[in-house]
Amino acid sequence: MHLNMHDVYDEQGAVIDILSEWIQGHKKQIPLLSGLKLSNFHLHTQKDIVFTEKVPRGLYFSFVGSNAIETVEDIQSVQIHYQPQDQIGQFSMKKNEQRGLLQVLISTDYLSLVLGQTEEQVIQHFTNMERKLGNGLPYIQLPFTKSMENLCKSVLDHKGLSISLAGHLYSCLFTLIEQIQMLNHLSECEDCQSKLFKAQNILEVPNNNVFGLEELALAVGLNVDALSIGFKYLVGQSIEDYHKQRRIAFAAEKLRKDPQSKSNIIKQSGFSEEQFETIFTQHFGVNSNQYKQIH
C-alpha cells in the first residue's frame, strides 16, 4: 500500500476516517516564529505501507520514539540532520509498527541570526559534522541524555504562550549543538576514548559495584553527558541498553549452569521477574524456560 503523508491527516491532525482501518496516530504542528516550527507525529500501521512525503529544506532536530511521544519516557534517541533543499522522499512501515517523532525544524538563515554567524557558516558546520560524526548514517545520532530529558519535559508539559515555548526549544537546540561539539571532541580525543572503553570494561562484569550512570561517570573520569554521548558513538548502543544486555547474558550463563537456582539468579540480576522474562525473550528470542531446555 502506498500513501502520501499529506493525505493521511485531516485539518485537526487526526488520521482521516477512510484510512483509520489501517492507520492510527496524529499530527500536531505548531509554527512558532518565522523559520521555527515544532511538530509531533505518531503513526501506528495495521498493514505494510510505503509513505511519500515532502521534506522542506532546513535543520531538523528530531526526538525519536517507538510509540506516541507524550512524555520524556517515550523518547529513545535524538537525530540531527541538515536538509539542503526541498525533497520528496519515502519511508516504509511494517504491519503493527509504531513511530513517534517530536521534531523541531529551523531554517538555516534563522539559526544564523540566533547564533550570530553567517548562514554559510551554519550550513558548513552542520554539513561537516554530519559527514564526520554520522557513522555512515545521513544524520548525527545522539542518546537522549539526562540534561536533554529535563529540557524536553518543559517542551512537552508547556501550556502557555507560544513565545515561551520557543524559549524552551532554544534551550534544547543550543544544548544539542553543544552536545555535537562534545561528540566531535570525543571522536578525536584518545584519552577520552580510553575512559569510554574503561566504562565498557566495567559493564562487562554485571556484578560489579558500579551500576548507576553517575557512579560510572565518576569512576572513569567523565561527566554524565560525555559518557552517554561517547559510549553510544563508540559502542553503538546506549549505556542503559548495553548494561541491560550484559546483565541478561550473565544471568543466562548462570541459568545454563544451574537452572534450579532461577529465582535467585533473577534476584541477583536486579530485574523483576516480569522484566527478566521480557528482556530475556527480546535478547535470546525464547523465554528463560525454553532457553533451559535448549541448553
pLDDT tens digits along 20-59? 999 999 999 988 888 999 999 999 999 999 999 999 999 9
pTM above 0.75, yes or no: yes
The residues of the chain scoring below 50 in pLDDT are none
Q: What percent of the chain clears pLDDT 90, i.e. is strictly above it?
A: 69
Cα angle value 224/227/230 (rounded, 5°): 145
What is the enclosing helix (H) or strand (E) of 50?
A: strand 49-55
pLDDT of residue 148: 94
pLDDT tens digits along 216-227? 999 999 999 999
pLDDT of residue 211: 65
